[in-house]
Structure 1
C-alpha cells in the first residue's frame, strides 16, 4: 500500500536520535514530505540537518526512531535493501556534485541506469534527454573537470533525476555556486522534480534557496521544528 493510497506522507522521520560517540547529532528530530513537495531543512552548522538527511535517505541508521517510506520502516531493512532503495527510489545532489572525474558528463548521468542493468544505448539516450532538460547538452562529451561549476551541478541534477526517483535529497546543492548560477540550478531542479512529482528534501542555510520550498523544517541542537510558509 502506497502513501498516496492512505493519504500519508511519502517519507517521514519520527523521533530520530543519532550520536557519534558521546556527541548527540539528533535528539528527537523528524520531518515528513509528500509526493511533489519541497521541504527545506535549515539550521546553523553542526545543528544536525545533514545527519537528518542521511538518516532519511538510509545512508545512516539512527540509534532510535523510525524512518517510514511508503509504509516500510527503513531502519528494519538490511544494508543491501537500503542500498537498492537509494539506487532505484532516491536521487542525490551534493554541494560539490561528486561526479566521477574519469567519466564524461553523459556517462556520469547514465551511470545509475547502467548500474541498474540498463543497456548502454538506452541509458545514454535517457541521459541525453536529461542533459537537454537541464540545458547542458553541450558538455555531454566533456569530463567534469572541463565544465564550469554551474554546468557540473546541472549534470549532477540530471544524474539524480535520470532514474525517476520518488525523493531527491539535495544537500547544499548551491553552496559552491555564485548567486546567479545557484538560482538557475534551483529553478531547474525544482521544475524538473515537479514534472515527475518527485519530492525534494533540501538541506540549506541560505534563505534564498529555502524560498523554493513549500515548507521549512528548522533543526537546532538535534531537534526540529516545522515552519509553515505564507505564500
Structure 2
C-alpha cells in the first residue's frame, strides 16, 4: 500500500472511497512512513483536515480504528493554501477533501485551483475523501481532483448488509434511508452512516429530480437502457 511513499513532487495522489474504507488510516500510515527516521525533514510535511470534521474532536485525523495523527483544521481552500505557503511545506496530506465546497466566481472549486498552484510549486499533494455523496453522486471537488491526479488509490469497505465490496455510503436517519433532497452535509459517524454496495444502497425520493438539479440535465431512465433522454 505504501509504495507511494517514495513519490516526489510535483505529484497529486487522490485516495477515495466510501466511509469506513480506511482513507484516514491510509494517510496516518503514509505520514508515519514518510517521517520515520527523517528528523527535521518531517517539518516540511503538512497534515490538514477540513474543520467541518469534528466527529472525534478537533486538531486530529482519527481513523475509525482509533489511530490518530495531529492535523491542522482549516475552513476553506484559501486558508489551506495560505498555511502551506507560510510554512514552506513540500509534502501535504489533506483529509476530508470532499468538504472543500467553496467555489470561485466561475463556479469552480477553489481546492482544485489551490492544488494546481501547489503542483506548480513542486509540492507532492495527497488528498483523501469521499468520491460520492450519500446519494451516490460526485462529491464536491473530488471528481475534478481524481481527473487531475497522477495517482488514484480507490479503497473499498464491506457492505453492512451483505458483506460485498462497498463503494457507496448509506446515510440513515432514524434508522431509515435518507431522502435524495436531504442536506448534502450532515457530519456523523457510525450511527448515521454505513458502507453499502450498489445493490444494497437506498435513497428515498426521486433521484431523477436530484440529478437534474446537480448536473443541469435529466438523466435517462436507467430502468430502460434504450432510453436516450
Higher helix share: 1
* Range class of TM-score, shorter chain: 0.3 to 0.5
Provide TM-score, normalisation by structure 1: 0.45
Higher RCO, 1 vs 2 (CA within 8 Å, ≥6 residues apart): 1
Q: Which has the larger radius of gyration?
A: 2
